Structure 1
């Protein structure tokens, strides 16, 4: 009964995400009319529109971070309750990320000049990616989780000149040297 309630909360939060994104005018799928599993071109207009892209690892890392923080601050809470909190945080971020203010803030970054927001498909799968990271952190030793997160950050950063760390830094303050480096991709 408790598990059913926990999963109902998780699915309810994702339903809220879908509804709010729809009300914000987000497209259901890429306006190109196709659904692709992967978009590897960092400059593609299909980035943040399809199932997976170079920003998916960032959402997996969100889940790892949420698991660790919630494990520290809510150690006695059932894992499913902590997952529901993590999904609530991710859903709130996905809604904020697709608000006109945040979209405009992202457009000021070197790699996000043409960013128009996520499709609903991509946004929901970003939440699923976060849940995957949460599950990995639950199942793996903490050292393996940290190593996997660092590997993802370094690999994505090296390949596309962006990752979760740079995304946060650029959102807070623009660094000309970082922007120049990112424009070289």
Structure 2
């Protein structure tokens, strides 16, 4: 739930701020471990749970539920493609994952962070707008807390991609991806449940 905020705090407290000192091997290994775990989680959510829920809803006869599922699935596909492209770009410029300026140059200075915020917000709005009950909306807000912090950040000091090692930025991106899939899975589960009534 707060994994992105924790990762961000880890980035801030773990690295030199002079832009020249690469991350230590120990810290890089920790990021690689966290990133690997998030990547596995994202793969499982996408290939199994999320896709199966989507297919089950589409099998139903109710076009309203199918339309809702389509909105969510399209938003998820959109954010996944965007994040995967960002990660590919970061890796292209720093395959070692240790540079502290690559994420800032590739994401912040190109305004990709603004696009990312918009795409994250699209997933959030697609999910939360389809859930009528307050307890459902609260659950989405809790699951998406760290991503909402990033979306609502007004200044560069709250940006997770400034003075972050490349592997740290990739880990944050995977965390955002995971948050999106979690709220989409929750929302599709609720839609499927509603469709069976």
- Check whether TM > 0.5: no
Give the TM-score taking structure 1 as reference length: 0.32
Greater share of helix: 2
Larger relative contact order (C-alpha < 8 A, sep ≥ 6)?
A: 2
Give the TM-score taking structure 2 as reference length: 0.31
Bigger radius of gyration among the two: 2
